[in-house]
Amino acid sequence: MQDRPRADELAEAVREFIETEVLPTIDDPRLRFRALVAANGLGILEREIAVGAPLVRREVGALMRLLGSADSVPDDLDELRRRASDLNRELSRRIRAGDAPEGTLVHLLATVADKLRVASPRYLERYR
């Protein structure tokens, strides 16, 4: 067990440092842009730590329903990620073979929206 700050708290601390102490001192517009991107990357990390696990669990459940898989949903997070990757590979293969399951578009809209909840929540709001 690691001591505090937790991983999300550390990412937050570094992001706040970039935003409040580093960015105001940068004049070079290209460096400034990369510093903003770096802060954004830490924001993604914070959100993934907060909601990544439940989202990948939800994705695996949805993929199993879509593909008619009767396996059990694993508990372990690494195992879940592997399963999500395998099922996405299977879905990709079927789409390319012209054999997309009924409901694929609706499934993908929900799954990609979940990816954006971590990667770019403000982008998601632009579709409301």
Partner 1 sequence: MTRDRGQDVSVELRERLIPLFGGDIAIERLALLAGGASKEAWALDLRTPQGTRLLLVRRAGGGVIHQQTLSLEHECRLLEVAYAAGVRAPQPYGYLGEIVGRPAFVSERVSGETIGRRIAQRPELAGARAVLPAQMAEELAKIHAIPADRVPFLEAGGPHDVLTRLERELDSVEEPHPAIELGLAWAKSRAPDRGDVVVLHGDLRVGNLAVTEAGLGHVLDWEFAHLGDPTEDVAWPLVRAWRFGVDQMRLGGIGEVEPYLERYNALSGRHISLASLDYWEIVGNLKWAIGALTQARRHLSGQQRSVELAVIGRLAAEMEFELLHLLERAG
Residues at the site binding partner 1, with contacts judged by CB under 8 A:
30, 33-34, 37-38, 40-41, 44, 85, 88-89, 91-92, 95-96, 98, 100, 104-105, 108-109, 111-113, 115-116, 118-120, 123-124, 126-127
The letter for the amino acid at 6 is R
111 near 56, Cβ under 8 Å? no
Min dist CB 4 to partner 1, Å, is: 26
For 50, 65, 92, the CA distances from 75, given in Å and listed in that order, are 17, 17, 24
Min dist CB 119 to partner 1, Å, is: 4
Considering beta carbons, is residue 57 or 120 the nearer one to partner 1? 120
Considering beta carbons, is residue 1 or 105 the nearer one to partner 1? 105
Residue 53 tokens, joined? 């696990």
Min dist CB 3 to partner 1, Å, is: 28
Q: Which stretches within 1-128 are classed as H helix?
A: 7-17, 29-67, 77-96, 104-119, 121-125
